[in-house]
A and B are shown apart, each in its own frame.
Chain A
Amino acid sequence: MKLRELLFPLLAVVCAFAVGAIVVLIVGDSPLQVYSLLLGSALSWPDGIGYTLFFATPLIFTGLAVAVALRGGLLNIGAEGQLYVAAFATAWVGIKFAGLPSFLLVPLCCLAAVLAGAAWAAIPGVLKARFGSHEVINTIMLNFVAVALVGYLTQYEYRVAGDPIMESAPIGETAHIARLGRFIPGLPERIPLNVAFLLALVALWLVYVLLWKTKWGYEIRATGQNPAAAEYGGISIRRQIVLTMAISGALAGMVGINEVLGYRYRYYDGFSDNYGFTGIAVALLGRNHPVGILLAALLFAVLQRGGVPVDAFTQLVSKDIVQILQALVILFVAAEAMFRPLQKWIGGRGKGEAGGKGKGENAMRQEVAVVGQQAGVGKI
C-alpha cells in the first residue's frame, strides 16, 4: 500500500516543478537551464552527493519534528526557533565543559540539544494545553524571540573578543564528532557530512517505532485523529499536547548536533537556511511517514545544493526559486483533493468503499485523507 501512496506526492512535486518552470519563464530565464543546474549539481561525487546528504540531515530532523507534531494534531511552525535555541545550547555545553573527555562531552552536548529543543517547543505546548491559544501563532512568535535571544547571547556573552563575525567561541576539541570522510574512501573530510547523518537515519527508524509500535505513539495518533475519543480512552489531552510538542522540539533540536558538533564546531548565528520551514514541506510531502520524509528530505536537499549554482550561474533567478518550489509543493500537497479523479482512474479504491455494504450515513461520508489532521488544528 505504501507504494501506491507515493504516486500522489510525486504528482504534487511534478506540478510544483511545472509551475516553478512558468515562474522562471516569466522572470526571463530558461527553465531547462535552471532545473538542470538545480538537480544536476547534486549528482557529482564527492561534492554533490556529499553536500546533498549533509543538507538532508537537518531536513530529516525538522521533517520528523513537524511530522510527529502533525500526527498528534499539532502544527509546529517553530522548528526554526527550536533548532536555534538547541544549537546554542549545544555550543554552550561544548564550551563550558570543554575539558571533559569525548565519551562524556559528546553525549552531554547531544542531550543539551535535545532538551533545549524540547523545552522551547514545550512552551507553546503548555500555552495551548493550559490556555487553548493556538500553537501556530505562538510558535511563530517564539521563532522571533528565539532568534533575538540567541543573537543577544552570541553578541554579548559568548563571542571571542575582537571577532567581527557573529559566532560563539569554539567548542572543546573533545566535543567534535567525526566527519564521514574519515571512514569512507574517496570522500574528503572537508565535506561536512558527519556522523549526525547516521543519527538522522536512526531517528527515522526510532520515530517509526515510536508511532506505530509503542503505546505512546498510539496515544499521539489517537489524539491527533480524534481528541474526544482519545479522552474517552483515558488519554489526557493536555498532557499529550505538551508531550507531543516536546518530542517534536527534541527532534528539531538535533539539528544542533549536526551543525555545531559536526560542522562549524561553534555556534554561528543565522546558520539555518530555513530548515524549520522546509521541514514543513518535507513532512507534508512525506505524508508524515519516516520513509516519505527520507525521500522528501533528499529531494529538498538536492534543491538546496542546486540553489548555489543557480544563484551563481543564472542571470536573473536567485536561489529563492528553491523556496518557491517548496511553497508550491506545500500548496499542491494540501490541495490533494485536486488529484482525486486521477487517483480513481488509476484504480485506487478509496477507504470508504472497501468491503462493507456501508449503508447510508457512512457511504455518504466522503473519504478525505487528512493531511495535517483537521482534528487538532482547531480554531484560530
Chain B
Amino acid sequence: MKLELRNVTKRFGAVLANDHLNITIDSGTIHAIVGENGAGKSTAMRIAYGFYTADSGEILVNDEVREIRAPRDAIALGIGMVHQHFMLVRPMTVTENIVLGAEPGSAVALDLRNAAAAIRALSEDFRLTVDPDATIETLSVGQQQRVEVLKALYRRAELLILDEPTAVLTPQEVEEFFSILRRMRSQGKTVVIITHKLSEVLAISDRVTVMRDGRVVGNLKTSETNAAELARLMVGREVLLRVAKSPATPGPDVLTVRNLSVQRVHGVSFDVRAGEIVGIAGVEGNGQTELIEALAGLLPESQVTGTITFSGRDLRTLDARRRREIGIAHVPEDRHRRGLVLEFSLSENSILGVHYRPPAASGVGAMLLDQKAIDRRADLVIREFDVRPPNPALPARALSGGNQQKLIIGREFELPPILLLISQPTRGVDIGAIEFIHRKIIAMRDARCAVLLVSAELEEVTALADRLLVLHNGRIAGEVDPSFATAEEIGLLMTGGRH
C-alpha cells in the first residue's frame, strides 16, 4: 500500500504541530520518520490513522484521496498502528484485546473460540508467538508488543505504523523485531517506523523522512546517508553526539547498598563513590523504578529488606523528607507525576521538597512562606539552568518537556546534593536540552557529588557513566566498563546472560 500525506497541517492551540507536510511512503518498503521529541512525527501518523483530523491537506491511499476521520476509517482502508504506549486492556485476554472492535459472532453472542484459532494461525505465520488465552497483565513487554502487531494484522493491515517500537526492547529483542519486519516486507506489507534512534534507522529502513519543528526537512534513501547528516537535519546544526568527559577520580563511598530487595528488586548490592557516575542500564520494568524510589524513601519501609548506608548512616530509618535534608537529591523518571505540580508556578515548584524550612519558610516556627526568598531561589534556578520562558510566575504546565526537566534538575542540583539519584534524565527532551543536561550532570560529578544514573537509553548511559551496572529481572546481571563494552555484551546482560 502506498500512503501519501499532501500539504497536511495541524494545529493544537497556539502550536503548529504539522506545517504543510508532504510525505510519500512507497508500497512494500520500510520507511522511517525521524525527528526530535515534539517534531510532529507522531502527530502526522496519528492523522493518517484517524486519531486526529488535519486542519488542511489530504491523505492519499494508493494514489486516491481518502477521508480518514476516525481509526475505524483507517482500519477499513488497511492501515494499522502500534502506539508507543500500548493500547491494551490489561485485565482482558490476548484474544479479547485483538478482537475488540471487530468481534466475531453475533450481537448477542460473542464467539471467542474461532477467533483464538485464527489468531494462533496468524501468530505462526509471522512468528509472533503468544498465548491467545493469556491476560495482558501476565505478559512481558515484548510479548505485549507482539499482541499489538497481531491486532493490526488481524484486521488485515497492509500498512503498519509503529511508534517508537524499540523503546522497550533489549538489543537482542530489537534484532528479532527487525527480522519480523523484514518478513512482513517480503510479504508485501508496508512498514512505517517513527523513531529517534538513528542507528536503528540506518539498520532497518529503506527510506527516511526527517522532520523538524513540524516540517519535513529531508527525504532520503537510507543507503545514501549517515548518522551525522541525519542528526544535523534533525537539529538544524552540528550536533555533538557524545559529551566530552575527563576520567573520574572517585573518592570515598557515599552510598552503600547491600542485598536490597523490594517489590521487583531482588538482592541488589553496589556502591557509589563521591565524584563518580554509576550508571544502571536495563530495559524499563526490570526494577529500576523501584530501586530509585526505595533509595529516595518513597516506598513503604515494610516492603524493603537489606541495608542502605549513606556516608555511614543507616538510611532506612529516615523518611523522604529527612533524606533530602541530609543531601540526597532525586530527579524522578516521571516528571509530570513525581517531579512537578503542574498547576503550581515555577516559583512554587522550585521549592518542592524544601518548602517547609528556611529559606523558603521563615518566621517563628518557620510557619510563613518567605516569598522574596522563594523568588530568589526560583530566579537562580531559572538562570543557571536556562529554563525558558524565564518567568517564575508561569504555571509549570506552560513549559515544554525539556524546560520542565531543566527546572527539576536545577531545583535538585541547587540543594546542593551529596548524592544524586537521577532517572531517565532526558526522556522526552529535545537534543539541545539533552546536551545541556548531560554537561550539568558531569559538572556535578566533577564537583565531587556521587551520582546514580538510571537510563533506558543505552547511548546516554554508556556515554555518561564511569561504571555501568546492568539490571535484569530485579537483579544486577553484571558490571561493565562503559568505555569498552559493546552493545552486544550489554544486551546479553540485559536479557539475563551472565557476564
Q: Which residues of A contact B17 (CB under 8 A)?
A: 360, 363-364
Contact of B37 among A212, A231, A357, A361 (CB under 8 A): A361
Q: How far is the CA of A361 from the CA of B43 in the complex (A)?
A: 10
Q: Does B321 contact A (CB under 8 A)?
A: yes
Beta-carbon contacts of A176-217 to B below 8 Å, as 1s and 0s? 000000000000000000000000000000000000111110
Is A362 a contact of B366 with CB atoms below 8 Å?
no
Instruction: Given A229-B338, A351-B395, check contact A356 B389 (CB 8 Å).
Output: yes
Q: Which residues of B contact A359 (CB under 8 A)?
A: 15, 37-38, 400-402, 430
Residue of A nearest to B367 (CB): A214
Is B403 a contact of A356 with CB atoms below 8 Å?
yes
Residue of A nearest to B39 (CB): A360
Instruction: Given A350-B13, A356-B389, check contact A362 B397 (CB 8 Å).
Output: yes
User: Which residues of chain B (306-341) have a CB below 8 Å from chain A?
Assistant: 319-321, 324, 330, 332, 337-341
Q: Does B56 contact A (CB under 8 A)?
A: no
Residue of B nearest to A367 (CB): B397
Instruction: Given A358-B400, A362-B401, check contact A229 B319 (CB 8 Å).
Output: no
Q: How far is the CA of A217 from the CA of B324 in the complex (A)?
A: 21
Residue of B nearest to A365 (CB): B397
Residue of A nearest to B42 (CB): A360
Q: How far is the CA of A216 from the CA of B356 in the complex (A)?
A: 8
Is B388 a contact of A233 with CB atoms below 8 Å?
no
Q: Which residues of A contact B366 (CB under 8 A)?
A: 215
User: Which residues of chain A (235-290) have a CB below 8 Å from chain B?
Assistant: 235-236
Beta-carbon contacts of B90-115 to A below 8 Å, as 1s and 0s? 00000000000000000000000000
User: Which residues of chain B (199-239) have a CB below 8 Å from chain A?
Assistant: none
Is A226 a contact of B342 with CB atoms below 8 Å?
yes
Is A229 a contact of B15 with CB atoms below 8 Å?
no
Q: Which residues of A contact B497 (CB under 8 A)?
A: none
Is B352 a contact of A363 with CB atoms below 8 Å?
no
Is B298 a contact of A232 with CB atoms below 8 Å?
yes
Is B399 a contact of A362 with CB atoms below 8 Å?
yes
Q: Which residues of A contact B321 (CB under 8 A)?
A: 234-235
User: Which residues of chain B (61-96) have a CB below 8 Å from chain A?
Assistant: none
Q: Which residues of B contact A229 (CB under 8 A)?
A: 337-341, 352
Q: Which residues of B contact A213 (CB under 8 A)?
A: 368-369
Q: Does B344 contact A (CB under 8 A)?
A: yes
Q: How far is the CB of B394 from chain A (nearest CB, A)?
A: 6
B interface, by DSSP: helix, strand, loop or mixed? loop
Number of contacting residues on B, CB 8 A?
51
Q: Does B484 contact A (CB under 8 A)?
A: no
Q: Which residues of A contact B355 (CB under 8 A)?
A: 215, 218-219, 233
Is B37 a contact of A215 with CB atoms below 8 Å?
no
Is B337 a contact of A356 with CB atoms below 8 Å?
no
Q: Does B252 contact A (CB under 8 A)?
A: no
Q: Does A230 contact B (CB under 8 A)?
A: yes
Number of contacting residues on A, CB 8 A?
38
Q: Which residues of B contact A222 (CB under 8 A)?
A: 341, 344, 352
Q: Which residues of A contact B339 (CB under 8 A)?
A: 229, 232
Is B332 a contact of A232 with CB atoms below 8 Å?
yes
Q: Which residues of A contact B337 (CB under 8 A)?
A: 226, 228-229
Is B398 a contact of A354 with CB atoms below 8 Å?
yes
Is A354 a contact of B394 with CB atoms below 8 Å?
yes
User: Which residues of chain B (411-436) have a CB below 8 Å from chain A?
Assistant: 428, 430
Q: Does A353 contact B (CB under 8 A)?
A: yes
Q: Does A225 contact B (CB under 8 A)?
A: yes
Q: Which of A212, A226, A353, A370 has the most CB atoms of chain B within a 10 A radius of its CB?
A: A226
Q: How far is the CA of A359 from the CA of B367 in the complex (A)?
A: 38
Q: How far is the CB of A178 from chain B (nearest CB, A)?
A: 31
Q: Does B486 contact A (CB under 8 A)?
A: no
Q: Does A355 contact B (CB under 8 A)?
A: yes
Q: Which residues of B contact A215 (CB under 8 A)?
A: 355-356, 360-361, 366-369
Q: How far is the CA of A213 from the CA of B13 in the complex (A)?
A: 34
Instruction: Given A233-B352, A360-B38, check contact A353 B330 (CB 8 Å).
Output: no
Q: How far is the CA of A365 from the CA of B17 in the complex (A)?
A: 13
Is A360 a contact of B341 with CB atoms below 8 Å?
no
Is B388 a contact of A218 with CB atoms below 8 Å?
no
Q: Which residues of B contact A219 (CB under 8 A)?
A: 355-356
Residue of A nearest to B334 (CB): A228
Is B400 a contact of A356 with CB atoms below 8 Å?
yes
Q: How far is the CB of A164 from chain B (nearest CB, A)?
A: 51
Q: How far is the CB of B422 from chain A (nearest CB, A)?
A: 14
Q: Which residues of A contact B369 (CB under 8 A)?
A: 212-215, 218
Q: How far is the CB of A185 from chain B (nearest CB, A)?
A: 39
Instruction: Given A351-B398, A358-B398, check contact A364 B342 (CB 8 Å).
Output: no
Q: How far is the CB of B426 from chain A (nearest CB, A)?
A: 14
Q: Does A48 contact B (CB under 8 A)?
A: no
Beta-carbon contacts of A70-114 to B below 8 Å, as 1s and 0s? 000000000000000000000000000000000000000000000
Residue of A nearest to B430 (CB): A359
Q: How far is the CB of A370 from chain B (nearest CB, A)?
A: 8
Q: Which residues of A contact B348 (CB under 8 A)?
A: 218
Contact of B14 among A218, A228, A358 (CB under 8 A): A358
User: Which residues of chain B (11-44) have a CB below 8 Å from chain A?
Assistant: 12-15, 17, 37-40, 43
Q: Does A309 contact B (CB under 8 A)?
A: no
Q: How far is the CB of A290 from chain B (nearest CB, A)?
A: 17
Q: Which residues of B contact A350 (CB under 8 A)?
A: 13
Q: Which residues of A contact B342 (CB under 8 A)?
A: 225-226
Is A355 a contact of B320 with CB atoms below 8 Å?
no
Q: How far is the CB of B54 from chain A (nearest CB, A)?
A: 15
Q: Which residues of A contact B298 (CB under 8 A)?
A: 231-232
Q: Which residues of B contact A356 (CB under 8 A)?
A: 388-389, 394, 398-400, 403
User: Which residues of chain A (333-380) have a CB below 8 Å from chain B?
Assistant: 350-365, 367, 370
Is B368 a contact of A214 with CB atoms below 8 Å?
yes
Q: Does B249 contact A (CB under 8 A)?
A: no
Instruction: Given A218-B348, A229-B337, check contact A355 B398 (CB 8 Å).
Output: yes
Q: How far is the CA of A362 from the CA of B389 in the complex (A)?
A: 14
Beta-carbon contacts of B443-456 to A below 8 Å, as 1s and 0s? 00000000000000
Is B428 a contact of A361 with CB atoms below 8 Å?
yes
Is A362 a contact of B320 with CB atoms below 8 Å?
no
Contact sample, A vs B, 20 pairs, CB 8 Å cutoff? A214-B367, A215-B355, A215-B366, A218-B348, A218-B355, A222-B344, A229-B352, A232-B353, A234-B321, A234-B353, A350-B13, A352-B14, A353-B398, A356-B389, A359-B430, A360-B37, A360-B38, A361-B38, A363-B15, A364-B17
Nearest 3 A/B pairs, CB to CB: A360-B38, A234-B321, A363-B15
Using CB atoms and an 8 Å cutoff, list the residues of chain A in contact with chain B: 212-216, 218-219, 221-222, 225-226, 228-236, 350-365, 367, 370
Q: Assuming A215-B361, A360-B40, what are 14 further A-B pairs, CB within 8 angstroms?
A: A213-B369, A215-B368, A218-B369, A222-B344, A232-B330, A232-B339, A234-B320, A234-B324, A234-B353, A351-B398, A353-B14, A361-B401, A362-B400, A363-B17
